[in-house]
Amino acid sequence: MKVGLLQEGDLAGTTAYHRYHQLIDEVALADSLGFSTWGTSEQHFSPPNFSVAAPEVLYSAIAMRTQNIKLRTMASVMLKWNHPVMVAERLATLDIVSHGRAEICTARSNNLTTLGAFGVDPKDTRAQWEDSMDVLMKAMTETKLAHDGPVWKIPTVEVVPKPVTSPHPPVSVAASSVQSHGNAGQRGIGVITFDNYFGFDYLQECLTAYRTSFDAADHSAVLAPNDYCGLYVATAYCAETREEARMIARDVAMRYFRFILDLYIPLSKNPAYEYLDTLEELVKNQDDLDWLCNFTPSVMIGTPADFIERIERLEHMGIDEVLLRIDGVGHENIRKSLDLIGREVIPQVDRSFEEAVR
């Protein structure tokens, strides 16, 4: 099981200037400790939880400070404000400057504020994502790109640069609905699950839909099928004792959970997001950190032993990589948590780490 890191520039108690430079330092530490992957999402208009609106710029700086850790956009929003050709060009550039460590996770947005600001109707997001993905795959692999789709009309052009990873960097999608998991499996790309705090049974339903669809689909025309399941852990923190971990991470865990509820309650009324139509239990437990830690795989707060137990459970369910959001608790606390996970968790759960040590 791989252990990666997903951070989003949480500005609690600091500024974007200081947080960005702290992030670079934290990723360099994670690289030295054996974390598999680092990434950030593209977020707009949502401080203090999120501050990274131009992730490609930040990735280049981090590439210069790291050696082994994979750099994965988590996620590139493939809607009309992000032309897929430009996404491909930026990804190829990152792949070049990082010596082949770039990966891409894509998404359609679930933030009504962002969709409204950029003039995208929520009912159109799935179709825009689908057509943008077709353009992205062509742009990365074809000598000449031409596309005549329902969203994008592109005359014959030559896209440069191309990635150094052949045939292209690994591709996945951030998914929250069972339908999106099935679509990812059909397309032959990886999936990173956010379970919406709906619990382990819902996570298993999503993973089963992905695996079933992936296995049933004909991927003979797909250059690099990516049979990968990651899990986004929205709040993670590791400390020597469970009490210390929950004391330090409580505020950020509850703040993030309420932020998600504020997004999902209005979004659940939109027919394009029908999987959010049962939020009663989440609302009922919106102040209960103990419930969150036990009920949902989206929260992982505790000791190294707690982390190992949870990661082994997730691996048994079919997860290949956990992506821990360790953010918003202060730079020194983040460094302490990373160090503890790197020393006591990763060597126990990542067999490739053991092989590298040998």
| pLDDT value of position 141 | 94
What letter represents residue 313's amino acid?
R
Q: In the structure encoding, which two tokens stand for residue 320, read together?
A: 């290949």
Domains of the chain, earliest start first? 2-357 (3.20.20.30)
* pLDDT, tens digit, 9 for 90 and up, residues 72-86: 999 899 999 999 999
pTM: 0.92
* Comparison of pLDDT for 305 and 47, the residue scoring more: 305
* pLDDT, tens digit, 9 for 90 and up, residues 281-332: 888 888 999 999 999 999 999 999 999 999 999 999 999 999 999 999 999 9
Segment 177-204 shows an average pLDDT of 94
Longest dimension (CA), the chain: 60
Give the Cα separation of 257 and 296 in Å (integer): 11
Give the Cα separation of 164 and 92 in Å (integer): 7
Say if CB 35 and CB 69 are below 8 A apart: yes
> What 3-state DSSP class applies to 171?
strand
> What 3-state DSSP class applies to 42?
coil
Residue 353 pLDDT grade (very low, low, confident, very high; cuts 50, 70, 90): low
Q: In the structure encoding, which two tokens stand for residue 59, read together?
A: 């990735």
| pLDDT value of position 357 | 46
Give the Cα separation of 255 and 62 in Å (integer): 27
Cis peptide before 169 (omega within 30 of 0): no
* pLDDT, tens digit, 9 for 90 and up, residues 126-180: 999 999 999 999 999 999 999 999 999 999 999 999 999 999 999 999 999 999 9
A 10 A CB-CB count for 177 gives: 18
Pairing of the two strands 321-324 and 2-6: parallel
pLDDT over 70, % of the chain? 96
* pLDDT, tens digit, 9 for 90 and up, residues 230-272: 999 999 999 999 999 999 999 999 999 998 888 877 777 777 6
* Comparison of pLDDT for 333 and 12, the residue scoring more: 333
Q: In the structure encoding, which two tokens stand for residue 85, read together?
A: 């050709």
Say if CB 346 and CB 2 are below 8 A apart: no
- Residues in the chain, overall count: 358
What residues contact 264, with CB distance under 8 A and at least 6 apart?
110, 196, 276, 279, 282
| pLDDT value of position 153 | 97
